[in-house]
Amino acid sequence: MSELTLPAWAALPAAVLLLCAGFLTLVGSIGLLRMPSFYSRMHPVTMGTTLGAGCALIASMLVASALAGRPVIHELLITFCILITAPVSAMTLMRAAIHRGGRAGARAPVPQSQER
């Protein structure tokens, strides 16, 4: 693990991107654990899985390019896959939650004036 010799132009942005990715993903999962209802649990998870994964994939692309000495962009495959599939799965899950809302225990958000 320590025999990698990265040039500074790749190591510094990759380190910053990895720090951002770890922080965002951890915040997303803490939000998943602590938010009160399903509809509010969707938000932090989406942030963690798109922004955090994007930062980690760009950092991985930088490191692979610096190690190979040429542009290596095959991490873009995972990036496009996640970017295309994350909204689809989020929309399908949300429709399922609305469909099952009555018997699932997770209430739909009601306006402030009607809340008891």
Is 58 a binding residue for other proteins by CB under 8 A? The answer is: no
| DSSP, residue by residue, 62-95 | HHHHHHHTS---TTHHHHHHHHHHHHHHHHHHHH
Is 57 a binding residue for other proteins by CB under 8 A? The answer is: yes
Contacts 24+ apart (CB under 8 A), 14-18: 14/59, 14/62, 14/63, 15/59, 17/55, 17/56, 17/58, 17/59, 17/62, 18/55, 18/56, 18/59
* Binding pattern for the stretch 81-110 against other proteins, x by CB under 8 A and - elsewhere: xx--x--xx--xx-xxx-xx---xxx----
Would you say 92 or 109 has its CB closer to other proteins? 92
Is 75 a binding residue for other proteins by CB under 8 A? The answer is: yes
| Residues in touch with other proteins (CB under 8 A) | 1-2, 4-6, 8, 11-12, 14-16, 18-19, 21-23, 25-26, 28-30, 32-33, 38, 41-42, 45, 48-49, 52-53, 56-57, 59-60, 63-64, 67, 74-75, 77-78, 81-82, 85, 88-89, 92-93, 95-97, 99-100, 104-106
